């Protein structure tokens, strides 16, 4: 029961949606599939909150046990609560929500990834070496594309945008297409394994 | 109020940037704040979707609208997801999860098989060998060899010997050129983010831009 | 050899400082390099420009705050062009932060071009479920988005009366920072329905999109900040994108210089045995 | 007749899906019954041998990271492949009596890494050398984990840095940290957008599916091995189709393209 029911549910919903794409199933394709899509959105909404529930559990534990730097967990929970409750009551166009989003959330998220600009700079200087022929080809191609993509490249030599375009149209497209075809096969096989209940890693390895 | 907001934003920005010098308490607090706000957003949008797509059509339909009784099913399924926090009934949460995963897997196949698999093969074979794609007459030959070579590189059922080795080697060099281009593009993306941050610090905060 | 040694041992913080300056200085003292329009940007522009007034465009905000410097200028430029041409704009989001950015873009652009909410444009917000959402909205937009972000019933919004499924949409534009995003639209909508799909992505995602461009599953593409800058040029409204391009140029040169210096020191200093 | 039942323009796609499903089910069944499918040894595994060997010579530790993904996301497959490689690395370090440090970002992955390493030491007959203190949970926050790893690499003077699994933005931080510590670096990930950095900063890099193939090769798990086989058959079919189609297009012979346009669009 515990094993079979979830696997049967996965199989039925998976096969139904798969066949619906290829075969016109009378009644089912018009009515049931649309209904199931609506359901999936709603269940996904519950799953969205589940992530937050998990975080809530971990940090409540840290606060109650007075773990190291428990105040950070407290800040986290307060932020979570305010960010959830305010728009729930007054919609996302409310001033408090907009304030929190624009001034705190956006700056934190944006800066987190802006850090990477600095890391690229320091890695460029310290770690990106023409250690192998492969790395050499990669770095030359990178430099051509960087000069081709910025206005200054064209100033230095009008060939940069041209050759950068050529390189990307032919080689980047070809390489990415090869990878894409292979990865698509991988994705199809993985999805089929899941639908047939052979691969249960989605259920946490049980 | 706006000035206060910008000052808070600047403090947040600097707290994160301080990570460049070393990991420190300010960074950790900022990181926790960020995770909290992101989780809060998740709760809000989850709630919003449940109310607008399930609760209202089920319990408060507009006058003239039919009550959608079926929506009781996803509401129950959704609640069942939370049995994972129980000791005994944990397995029940796999039923709604199985539904999501089943639908998701099927949609993944539906999407991938056309646009990312077949369409990519067809677009490659449509090219005549002697054809200028961007610059030279041999473009199409290079392109087709590149696609085939990359596929051969990822072929694992035979040792790489003879023609397979040649093919895989072509694939490897084409991929190096491709990843080089990807490298260049990534630099561009990351620099854009930094430009955005510096706009904020120097423009909105310090008003020197 | 002395110089080489110094070059090999520049402190991390000095590297950071040089990079920061390479962006700050061009922002303070703009150089104004001319921006050339690439074919992919021109294609996006043409798609929007050739639509007759009253056509419906679906603009999807599939990104978060971390990608705002690249995609916010794209969204603004596109929205301005769309509303200026008197097209109907339906904004949705596959990433939850996208819905808030849609509000912001509308608040900036709509008053300037005199567009009215509910008649010319609408923000239906975010729904979780990724590919599920796209398949669902293709069948029935009203069931997927029963309310907009202000909790007005979608059915009661004037412009939405005639916009019910993917058949009523003339162009799909996805601005995307990853999955779900443009790729999801190509796979789930483009492969099933005849509607044209175009979009804008962060520069990181460009290589992954090129195969779809070549195969024709995707028509036109705005690439990161430079794509935004080019589009701003095309609609003749310089904005955040164009302003950043000088800084881009100089910072790229700096990165290239770092790679060169590092490698010269490496090669001259004798490669370490493997 | 056909139109009433099938979506005609997807007929070929339907055929492909069914074919893949059938071949996969057969292959998995046969693999479970003991059929050995050949998977070639990935060159990257030699690079791992070399890296561990050098760490042994220098008497300095090896650092391993299984990526930052959990076991319940789409990227779980990469984590699993990474763990298979970890088993291999741990057997090597057990054999050569070299220290192995494993860092984790996901709490749920920690017990599995512990088990993998312990088993490897056991199978090499050296359970007493297994040191649980060297399997470290650093932090579940992405950048805090990255910072922790950097610290370990420079403090412990790691001689070999092996990173196998799903990595995101922190890949750059790791690769630089390892390079500065003077380690030999071997990386592998299927997150394509991170590969350029690994390729530029590491001595060897498993690209995309090579990671899965290495995982299947090392674990010999029937499901994984059979899946690799099915995908290989698919790739051969794709290559043949491209070759035949290109010849047809070059000779202006549109039969194939027309057929596919009608039944596979």
- Give residue B23's domain range: 1-62
Q: Do C17 and C148 fall within a single domain?
A: no
Q: Smallest Cβ distance to B120: which of C126, C207, C211?
A: C211
Q: Residues B77, B83, B88, CA angle at the centre, nearest 5°? A: 135
| 126-155 in chain C: CB under 8 A from chain A | 127-130, 132-133, 135-136, 139-140, 143-144, 149-151
Cα–Cα distance measured from residue D114 to residue C175, given in angstroms and rounded to the nearest whole number: 42
Cα–Cα distance measured from residue B96 to residue B78, given in angstroms and rounded to the nearest whole number: 7
* B199 vs A: CB within 8 A: no
How far off is chain D from C3, nearest CA to CA, in Å? Answer: 20
User: Tens of pLDDT along C102-137?
Assistant: 999 999 999 999 999 999 999 999 999 999 999 999
- Residues in A closer than 8 angstroms to C136, CB to CB, are 34, 37-38, 40-41
Q: Say what the pLDDT of residue A206 is.
A: 39
* Of residues D190, D161, D124, D150, the one with CA closest to residue D47: D161
Contact A146 C252 (CB under 8 A): yes
Contact (CB, 8 A) for D95 and D120 = no
Contact (CB, 8 A) for C252 and B187 = yes
Contact (CB, 8 A) for C89 and C121 = yes
Cα–Cα distance measured from residue B48 to residue D129, given in angstroms and rounded to the nearest whole number: 54
Contact C203 B182 (CB under 8 A): no
Contact A110 C69 (CB under 8 A): yes
Q: Smallest Cβ distance to C247: which of B114, B119, B195?
A: B195
* B141 vs D: CB within 8 A: no
* D197 vs B: CB within 8 A: yes
Q: Smallest Cβ distance to D238: which of B121, B179, B182?
A: B121
- Give residue C62's domain range: 39-238
| 101-120 in chain D: CB under 8 A from chain B | none
Identify the helix (H) or strand (E) that includes residue D117: helix D110-123
- Sorted by where each begins, the domain ranges of chain A are 1-90, 98-126, 128-197
Cα–Cα distance measured from residue A173 to residue C208, given in angstroms and rounded to the nearest whole number: 8
Cα–Cα distance measured from residue C230 to residue C37, given in angstroms and rounded to the nearest whole number: 6
Q: For residue D232, give every residue at least 6 positions away whose Cβ sits within 8 Å of its Cβ, in sequence order, or none.
A: B155, B156, B157
* C238 vs A: CB within 8 A: no
Is residue C104 one of the residues assigned to a domain?
yes
* C273 vs D: CB within 8 A: no
Q: Do C94 and C210 fall within a single domain?
A: yes
Whether the predicted pLDDT of A130 surpasses 70: yes
Cα–Cα distance measured from residue C91 to residue C102, given in angstroms and rounded to the nearest whole number: 7
Contact A34 C143 (CB under 8 A): yes
**Which of these three, B126, B144, B168, is where a domain ends?**
B126
* A149 vs B: CB within 8 A: yes
Q: Do C117 and C20 fall within a single domain?
A: no
How far off is chain C from D254, nearest CA to CA, in Å? Answer: 17
Q: How high is the mean pLDDT in each 10-residue block of chain D (265 residues)?
A: 84 96 96 92 92 96 93 81 95 96 90 93 94 89 85 92 92 86 93 91 93 94 93 97 94 89 85
Strands D62-67 and D100-104: parallel
Contact (CB, 8 A) for C57 and C51 = yes
Contact C247 B198 (CB under 8 A): yes
Binding partners of B (≥3 Cβ pairs within 8 A): A, C, D
Q: Say what the pLDDT of residue C274 is.
A: 39
Report DSSP letters for A58-77, one per residue: HHHHHHHTT-TTHHHHHHHH
**Which of these three, B62, B85, B100, is where a domain ends?**
B62
Compare all CA atoms of chain D with the CA of A112 and give the residue at the minimum distance.
Answer: D143
Compare all CA atoms of chain D with the CA of A195 and give the residue at the minimum distance.
Answer: D21
Q: How many domains does chain C have?
A: 2
Q: For residue A31, give every residue at least 6 positions away whose Cβ sits within 8 Å of its Cβ, in sequence order, or none.
A: none
How many other CB atoms are found less than 10 A from the CB of residue B2? 10
Contact (CB, 8 A) for A53 and A78 = no
Interface mutation target, options B26, B157, B185, chain D, most CBs of D under 10 Å: B157
CB-count exposure of residue B78 (10 Å: 0-12, 13-18, 19+): buried
* B53 vs D: CB within 8 A: no
Q: Do C169 and C261 fall within a single domain?
A: no
Provide φ and ψ at D183, rounded to 5°. -85, 155
Q: Say what the pLDDT of residue C166 is.
A: 97
For residues B99-105, give the mean pLDDT.
94
Cα–Cα distance measured from residue A138 to residue D196, given in angstroms and rounded to the nearest whole number: 8
Helix, strand, coil share of chain B (percent; to 5): 80, 0, 20
Q: Say what the pLDDT of residue C77 is.
A: 97
| 125-154 in chain A: CB under 8 A from chain C | 125-131, 139, 142-143, 146-147, 149-154
Q: How many domains does chain B have?
A: 3
Query: With the C-alpha atoms ordered A117, A121, A124, A126, is the resulting torsion angle positive or negative?
Result: negative
User: Tens of pLDDT along C8-56?
Assistant: 788 889 999 999 999 999 999 988 888 889 999 999 999 999 999 999 9
- Across the B:D interface, residue pairs with CB atoms under 8 Å apart total 115
For residues B90-117, give the mean pLDDT.
93
Q: Do B47 and B79 fall within a single domain?
A: no
Q: Looking at residue C36, what DSSP letter applies?
A: P
Q: Do B85 and B143 fall within a single domain?
A: no
For residues A83-92, give the mean pLDDT.
95
Q: Which residue has the higher pLDDT, A74 or D106?
A: A74
Report DSSP letters for A121-173, one per residue: HHHHHHT----SHHHHHHHHHHHHHHHHHSHHHHHH-THHHHHHHHHIIIIIH
Is residue C117 one of the residues assigned to a domain?
yes
Interface mutation target, options B109, B140, B183, B189, chain C, most CBs of C under 10 Å: B189
User: Tens of pLDDT along A47-65?
Assistant: 999 989 988 998 999 999 9
Cα–Cα distance measured from residue A188 to residue A193, given in angstroms and rounded to the nearest whole number: 9
Domains detected in chain D: 2-38+222-237+254-263 (no CATH), 43-219 (3.40.50)
Q: Say what the pLDDT of residue C270 is.
A: 61
* A78 vs B: CB within 8 A: yes
Whether the predicted pLDDT of C272 surpasses 70: no
Compare all CA atoms of chain C with the CA of A179 and give the residue at the minimum distance.
Answer: C208
- Residues in A closer than 8 angstroms to B116, CB to CB, are 180-181, 183-184
Q: Do B30 and B100 fall within a single domain?
A: no
Quick one: CA torsion of B130, B132, B138, B139, rounded to 10 degrees?
-120
Q: Looking at residue D40, what DSSP letter applies?
A: P
- Residues in D closer than 8 angstroms to C15, CB to CB, are none
How far off is chain B from D30, nearest CA to CA, in Å? Answer: 16
Whether the predicted pLDDT of A204 surpasses 80: no
Strands C88-93 and D135-137: unpaired
Interface mutation target, options C126, C263, C268, C274, chain A, most CBs of A under 10 Å: C263
- Residues in B closer than 8 angstroms to A172, CB to CB, are 177-178, 181-182
Contact (CB, 8 A) for B18 and B30 = no
Q: Do C185 and C229 fall within a single domain?
A: yes
Contact (CB, 8 A) for D93 and D131 = no
Q: Do C115 and C176 fall within a single domain?
A: yes
How far off is chain B from D14, nearest CA to CA, in Å? Answer: 9
Three-class DSSP labels, B139-160:
HHHHHHHHHHHHHHHCCCCCCC
Q: Do C140 and C214 fall within a single domain?
A: yes
- SS3 (DSSP) at C11: coil
Quick one: CA torsion of C97, C98, C104, C110, rounded to 10 degrees?
-160
User: Tens of pLDDT along C67-101?
Assistant: 999 999 999 999 999 999 999 999 999 999 999 99
List the CATH number of the domain containing C198: 3.40.50.10160
- SS3 (DSSP) at B193: helix
- Residues in A closer than 8 angstroms to D190, CB to CB, are 183
Q: Do C158 and C53 fall within a single domain?
A: yes
Is residue C274 one of the residues assigned to a domain?
no
Q: Where are the beta strands (DSSP E) in chain C?
A: 56-62, 88-93, 121-126, 171-176, 196-201, 222-223
Half-sphere exposure of B132 (CA within 13 A, CB side): 4
Q: Do B135 and B88 fall within a single domain?
A: no
């Amino acid at each position: 029961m515990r094993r079979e029911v979830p696997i049967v549910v996965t199989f039925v919903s998976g096969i139904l949606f798969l066949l619906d794409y290829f075969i016109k199933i009378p009644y089912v394709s018009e009515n049931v599939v649309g209904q199931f899509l609506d359901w999936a959105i709603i269940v996904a909404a519950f799953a969205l909150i589940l992530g937050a529930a998990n975080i809530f559990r971990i940090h409540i534990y840290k606060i109650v046990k007075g773990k190291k730097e428990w105040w950070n967990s407290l800040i986290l929970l307060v932020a979570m609560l305010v960010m959830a409750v305010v728009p729930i009551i007054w919609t996302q166009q409310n001033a408090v929500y907009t304030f929190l989003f624009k001034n705190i959330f956006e700056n934190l998220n944006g800066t987190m990834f802006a850090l990477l600009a600095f890391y690229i700079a320091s890695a460029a200087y310290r770690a990106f070496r023409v250690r192998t022929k492969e790395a050499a080809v990669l770095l030359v191609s990178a430099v051509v594309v960087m000069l081709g993509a910025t206005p200054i490249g064209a100033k230095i030599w009008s060939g940069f945008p041209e050759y950068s375009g050529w390189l990307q149209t032919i080689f980047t497209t070809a390489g990415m297409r090869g990878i894409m075809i292979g990865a698509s096969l991988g994705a199809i096989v993985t999805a089929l394994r899941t639908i047939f209940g052979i691969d249960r890693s989605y259920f946490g390895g049980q | 109020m706006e000035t206060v907001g910008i000052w808070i934003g600047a403090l947040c920005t600097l707290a994160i940037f301080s990570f460049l010098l070393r990991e420190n308490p300010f960074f950790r607090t900022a990181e926790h704040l960020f995770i909290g706000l992101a989780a809060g957003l998740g709760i809000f949008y989850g709630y919003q979707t449940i109310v607008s797509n399930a609760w209202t059509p089920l319990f408060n339909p507009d006058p003239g609208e039919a009550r959608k009784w079926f929506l009781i099913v996803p509401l129950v399924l959704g609640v069942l997801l939370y049995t994972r926090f129980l000791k005994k009934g944990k397995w029940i949460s796999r039923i709604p999860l199985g539904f999501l995963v089943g639908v998701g897997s099927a949609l993944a196949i539906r999407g991938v098989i056309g646009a990312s698999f077949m369409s990519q093969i067809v677009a490659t074979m449509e090219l005549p060998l002697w054809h200028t794609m961007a610059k030279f007459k041999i473009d199409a030959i290079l392109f087709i060899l590149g696609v085939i070579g990359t596929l051969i590189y990822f072929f694992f059922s035979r040792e790489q010997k003879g023609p397979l080795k040649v093919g895989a080697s072509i694939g490897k060099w084409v991929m190096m050129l491709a990843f080089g281009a990807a490298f260049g593009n990534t630099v561009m993306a990351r620099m854009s983010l930094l430009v955005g941050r510096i706009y904020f610090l120097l423009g909105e905060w310090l008003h020197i831009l | 050899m002395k110089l080489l040694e110094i070059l090999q041992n520049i402190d991390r913080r000095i590297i950071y400082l040089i990079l920061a300056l390479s962006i700050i200085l061009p922002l303070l003292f703009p150089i104004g390099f001319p921006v050339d329009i690439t074919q992919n940007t021109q294609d996006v522009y043409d798609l929007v420009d050739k639509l007759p007034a009253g056509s419906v465009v679906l603009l999807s905000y599939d990104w978060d705050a971390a990608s705002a410097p690249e995609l916010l200028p794209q969204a603004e430029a596109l929205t301005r062009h769309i509303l200026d041409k008197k097209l109907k704009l339906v904004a949705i989001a596959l990433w939850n932060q996208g819905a808030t950015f849609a509000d912001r873009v509308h608040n900036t652009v709509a008053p300037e071009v005199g567009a009215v909410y509910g008649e010319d444009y609408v923000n239906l917000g975010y729904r979780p479920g990724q590919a599920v959402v796209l398949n669902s909205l293709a069948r029935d937009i009203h069931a997927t988005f029963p309310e907009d972000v202000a909790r007005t019933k979608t059915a009661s919004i004037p412009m939405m009366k005639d916009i019910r499924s993917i058949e009523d949409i003339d162009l799909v534009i996805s601005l995307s920072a990853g999955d779900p995003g443009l790729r999801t639209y190509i796979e789930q909508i483009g492969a099933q329905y005849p509607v044209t799909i175009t979009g804008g992505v962060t520069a990181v995602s460009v290589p992954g999109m090129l195969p779809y461009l070549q195969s024709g599953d995707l028509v036109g593409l705005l690439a990161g900040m430079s794509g935004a800058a080019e589009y701003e040029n095309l609609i003749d409204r310089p904005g955040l994108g164009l302003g950043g391009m000088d800084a881009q140029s100089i910072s790229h040169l700096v990165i290239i210089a770092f790679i060169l210096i590092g490698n010269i020191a490496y090669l001259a200093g004798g490669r370490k045995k493997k | 007749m056909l139109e009433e039942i099938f979506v005609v323009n997807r007929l070929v796609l339907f055929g492909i899906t069914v074919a893949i499903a059938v071949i996969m089910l057969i292959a998995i069944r046969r693999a479970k019954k003991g059929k050995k499918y050949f998977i070639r040894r990935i060159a990257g595994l030699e690079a791992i041998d070399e890296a561990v060997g050098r760490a042994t010579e220098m008497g300095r530790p090896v650092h391993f990271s299984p990526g930052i993904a959990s076991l319940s996301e789409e990227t779980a497959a990469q984590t699993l492949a990474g763990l298979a490689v970890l088993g291999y690395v741990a057997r090597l370090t057990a054999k050569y009596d070299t220290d192995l440090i494993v860092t984790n970002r996901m709490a749920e992955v920690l017990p599995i890494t512990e088990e993998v390493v312990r088993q490897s030491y056991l199978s090499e007959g050296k359970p007493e050398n297994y040191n649980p203190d060297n399997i470290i949970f650093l932090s579940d926050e992405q950048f805090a984990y990255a910072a922790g790893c950097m610290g370990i690499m420079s403090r412990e003077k790691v001689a070999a840095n092996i990173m196998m699994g799903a990595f995101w933005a922190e890949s750059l931080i790791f690769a630089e940290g390892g390079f500065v510590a003077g380690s030999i670096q071997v990386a592998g990930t299927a997150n394509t957008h991170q590969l350029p950095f690994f390729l530029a900063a590491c001595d060897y890099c498993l690209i995309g599916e090579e990671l899965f193939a290495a995982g299947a090769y090392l674990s010999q798990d029937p499901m994984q091995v059979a899946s690799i086989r099915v995908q290989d058959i698919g790739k051969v079919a794709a290559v043949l189709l491209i070759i035949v189609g290109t010849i047809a297009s070059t000779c202006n012979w549109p039969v194939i393209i027309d057929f596919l346009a009608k039944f596979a669009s």
